[in-house]
Amino acid sequence: MQIISRSQEKLVRSLANKKYRKQEGLFILEGEKLLKEALDSDFELEMLLATEEKAATLGLEDFTIADERSLQKLSQLKTSPGILALAKMKELTISEHADLFLLLDEVKDPGNLGTIIRSAEAFGVSAIICSEQTVDQYNSKVVQASMGSIFRVPMRYQSLKDFLQSKSTLNRYAIHLSGTSINQKTLQKPALLVMGSESHGVSEDLLAHVNQCLTIPMQGRVESLNVSVATAIALSAFQD
């Protein structure tokens, strides 16, 4: 083990910025839960920082010592959990038998994206395709909110229009306020589902390339749902 150096602290701080995450090919994860998920995955750890007390509790051997004050300064959380790791970015392979794609059109809130990734795993999504304007999957808040699902759900950033055109044989659905009630439809795989940002919804340009627009019926004075909540509801409607 060794004590954290200034250069290591500088590297960790730089990874709060997307530009440097991409440049270094690294991202931050914090806490015991995410560390365990990372170690159980095919992702490689570049650096592991922990307080001596936390390392002793977890039985860690190969780690760099950092005191609580240092970790608090480096943490992306309100309170540091006493353990922080840097993992190498990795592109997960999309299965040849993929039968359910989730397309995200300009989802910009990190917490929403992280929660969506978690729901995607829970409902058997084969891969998430994000518009280039969607928040970076390796944003620390996204990683945290995914609760480890980011290590298992394949993700790709590209033109959604191009992807839709390449999947013309699939059932193509989009959630839109003017659509048919999702309760009146049985959603069949293989398929793709397009979700838009809460503020703008799915762009008109993309709607021209889907088969059906669906809406989630709501009661009371609620006009819209958080995009992560709406995504979970929509994904639950798919039948195998």
Separation between Cα atoms, residue 164 and residue 103, nearest integer Å: 9
Give the pLDDT score at 199.
Answer: 81
Q: Are residues 76 and 146 in the same domain?
A: no
Per-residue HEC secondary structure of 150-206 comes to HHCCCEEECCHHHHHHHCCCCEEEEEEEEEEEHHHCCEECCEEEEEEECCCECCHHH
Q: Map tokens 């990190």 to a residue.
A: 110
Quote the tokens at residue 2.
């060794």
What's the domain range around 185? 100-239
Residue 145 lies in a domain: yes
216-240 residue pLDDT tens: 998 888 878 899 999 999 999 997 6
Separation between Cα atoms, residue 9 and residue 14, nearest integer Å: 9
143-175 residue pLDDT tens: 999 999 999 999 999 999 999 999 999 999 999
For position 120, which CATH number holds? 3.40.1280.10
Give the pLDDT score at 173.
Answer: 97
Residues 125, 131, 135, 136: is their CA dihedral positive or negative?
Answer: positive
Q: Are residues 106 and 221 in the same domain?
A: yes
Helix (H, G, I), strand (E, B) or coil at 57: helix
Q: Which of 62, 66, 71 is nearest to 30 (CA)?
A: 71
Q: Are residues 75 and 107 in the same domain?
A: no
Separation between Cα atoms, residue 124 and residue 229, nearest integer Å: 16
In this model, does residue 71 exceed pLDDT 80? yes
Q: Are residues 105 and 208 in the same domain?
A: yes
Residue 24 lies in a domain: yes
Give the pLDDT score at 1.
Answer: 60
Separation between Cα atoms, residue 200 and residue 54, nearest integer Å: 44
Give the pLDDT score at 240.
Answer: 64
Q: Are residues 77 and 136 in the same domain?
A: no
- 72's enclosing H/E stretch is helix 68-74
Residue 109 lies in a domain: yes
Residue 19 lies in a domain: yes
Q: Are residues 77 and 104 in the same domain?
A: no
Separation between Cα atoms, residue 214 and residue 236, nearest integer Å: 14
Query: What percent of the chain clears pLDDT 70, i.e. is strictly above it?
Result: 99
Q: Are residues 46 and 132 in the same domain?
A: no
Which residue did the predictor score with more confidence, 197 or 134?
134
Mean pLDDT of the chain: 94
Residue 95 lies in a domain: no
Q: Count CB neighbours of 167 within 10 A.
A: 18
Are the CB atoms for 117 and 155 separated by under 8 Å?
A: yes
2, β-bridge pairs: 64
Separation between Cα atoms, residue 49 and residue 58, nearest integer Å: 13
**Measuring CA to CA, how many Å separate 218 from each of 81, 144, 210, 229, 236?**
39, 30, 23, 13, 16
For position 59, which CATH number holds? 3.30.1330.30
Q: Are residues 121 and 191 in the same domain?
A: yes
Q: Are residues 44 and 121 in the same domain?
A: no
